[in-house]
């Protein structure tokens, strides 16, 4: 399997090109999701528990609508690794075509993993690792349902620890960046809202108008920050797509693994990957 440093380097390059090419579509997907989620935030929310309904709504919408953005990120990663250009229009069309298969596969995989977690925690964790490539199997491999899940399990078998550790690295980096970004932007938004409130007071606006304007400003900043955080998390999906292509190349070549020298030639190895 590819080393962590090479994987992160390859992922960053592909991810950055994906964002530059598809950012209008990504915001088109994630802004409404975060707007609807914010609608379930109580006006007097103070604790994490007060936000549970909002998190539930966002999780459901991500599972139903957000996977279109995931499909776009993975499709772009496959084309980028193959050295081919893809237009935004084609990326959107292909992502929408993948939606049904991906939703059904995720639903089935989630049901299986959830059931195993209810029985015993360890089997749930193990099978979650086995299904790490299920998204790649659907979007790049063209499979669906049990076929995609079985193919993912076969690809991970014998490489479970390496796959899971790579997935954790791909998950941790955007999570850290997302927290730092949201914290910094949150401080900036609070400052701007405070300045705007002071300016409104100098104009003689009523307290009711100031409160309303302040609420809308906070909601707008939360929606924008949430959408950007969702786009940042696509780093994980791009990385897993690259990892899927790498593992697919290993299996197609009839080799269980590659040497460190081969590891430096990731782009060459995946050049012929089908997008």
**Is the pLDDT reported for residue 131 higher than 90?**
yes
Residue 248 lies in a domain: yes
pLDDT score recorded for residue 184: 78
For residue 45, what is the DSSP state? -
Could you read off the pLDDT of 83-108 as tens digits, one per residue?
888 899 999 999 999 999 999 999 99
User: Which of 110, 18, 95, 19 minimizes the C-alpha distance to 63?
Assistant: 110
Domain containing 46 equals 4-100+161-269
Among all chains, which residue has been given the structure tokens 């990120």? 73
What is the C-alpha to C-alpha distance for residues 169 and 155, in angstroms, rounded to an integer? Answer: 19
Q: Which residues contact 52 (CB under 8 A, 6 or more apart)?
A: none
For residue 223, what is the DSSP state? H
Could you read off the pLDDT of 212-256 as tens digits, one per residue?
666 667 778 788 888 999 999 999 999 999 999 999 998 888 754
The pTM is what? Answer: 0.83
Could you read off the pLDDT of 164-205 as tens digits, one per residue?
999 999 999 989 988 888 777 767 766 766 766 676 667 666
**Is the pLDDT reported for residue 260 higher than 60?**
no
pLDDT score recorded for residue 226: 87
pLDDT-based confidence at residue 126 (cuts at 50, 70, 90): very high
Residue 122 lies in a domain: no
Q: Structurally, how many domains does the chain consist of?
A: 1
pLDDT score recorded for residue 270: 40
Average pLDDT, integer, range 71-83 = 94
pLDDT score recorded for residue 268: 37
Average pLDDT, integer, range 125-136 = 94
Q: Which residues contact 259 (CB under 8 A, 6 or more apart)?
A: none
**Is the pLDDT reported for residue 266 higher than 50?**
no
pLDDT score recorded for residue 65: 93
The three-state secondary structure class of 3 is coil
Higher pLDDT, 97 or 1: 97
Residue 134 lies in a domain: no
**Is the pLDDT reported for residue 154 higher than 80?**
yes
Give the burial class of 264: count Cβ atoms within 10 A of its Cβ; 0-12 exposed, 13-18 middle, 19 or more buried: middle
Average pLDDT, integer, range 129-133 = 95
pLDDT-based confidence at residue 7 (cuts at 50, 70, 90): confident
Question: Which of the residue ranges 64-68, 129-133, 203-207, 227-231 would you say has the lowest mean pLDDT?
Answer: 203-207
Residue 131 lies in a domain: no
Residue 111 lies in a domain: no
User: Which of 167, 172, 171 minimizes the C-alpha distance to 155?
Assistant: 167
pLDDT score recorded for residue 255: 53
pLDDT score recorded for residue 191: 72
Number of neighbouring beta carbons within 10 Å of residue 195: 10
The CA radius of gyration of the chain, in Å to the nearest whole number, is 21
Residue 127 lies in a domain: no
Residue 121 lies in a domain: no
Q: What are phi and psi of 238, to 5 degrees?
A: -65, -45
pLDDT score recorded for residue 262: 35
Distance set, CA 57 to CA 138, 227, 262 (Å): 25, 14, 45
pLDDT-based confidence at residue 207 (cuts at 50, 70, 90): low
The residue count of the chain comes to: 275
Residue 133 lies in a domain: no
Could you read off the pLDDT of 23-58 as tens digits, one per residue?
999 999 999 999 888 877 665 555 555 566 777 888
**Is the pLDDT reported for residue 275 higher than 50?**
no
Q: CA 82, 73, 63, 221: dihedral to nearest 10 degrees?
A: 170
Number of neighbouring beta carbons within 10 Å of residue 200: 16
């Amino acid at each position: 399997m590819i080393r962590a440093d090479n994987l992160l380097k390859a992922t960053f390059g592909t991810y950055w090109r994906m964002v530059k090419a598809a950012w209008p579509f990504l915001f088109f997907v994630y802004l409404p999701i975060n707007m609807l989620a914010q609608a379930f935030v109580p006006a007097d929310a103070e604790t994490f528990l007060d936000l549970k309904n909002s998190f539930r709504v966002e999780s459901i919408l991500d599972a139903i609508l957000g996977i279109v953005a995931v499909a776009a990120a993975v499709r772009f990663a496959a084309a980028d690794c193959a050295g081919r250009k893809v237009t935004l229009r084609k990326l959107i069309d292909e992502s929408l075509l993948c939606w049904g298969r991906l939703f059904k596969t995720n639903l089935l995989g989630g049901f299986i993993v959830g059931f195993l977690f209810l029985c015993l925690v360890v089997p749930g964790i193990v099978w979650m690792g086995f299904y790490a490539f299920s998204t790649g199997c659907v979007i790049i491999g063209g499979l669906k349902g049990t076929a995609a899940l079985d193919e993912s399990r076969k690809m991970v078998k014998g490489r479970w620890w390496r796959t899971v550790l790579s997935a954790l690295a791909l998950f941790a980096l955007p999570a850290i960046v997302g927290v730092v970004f949201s914290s910094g932007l949150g401080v900036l938004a609070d400052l701007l809202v405070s300045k705007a409130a002071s300016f409104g007071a100098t104009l003689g606006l009523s307290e009711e108008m100031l409160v309303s304007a302040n609420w809308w400003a906070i909601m707008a900043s939360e929606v924008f920050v949430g959408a950007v955080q969702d786009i940042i998390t696509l780093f994980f999906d791009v990385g897993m797509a690259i990892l899927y292509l790498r593992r697919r190349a290993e299996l197609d070549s009839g080799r269980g693994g590659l040497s460190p020298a081969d590891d430096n030639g990731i782009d060459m190895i995946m050049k012929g990957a089908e997008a």
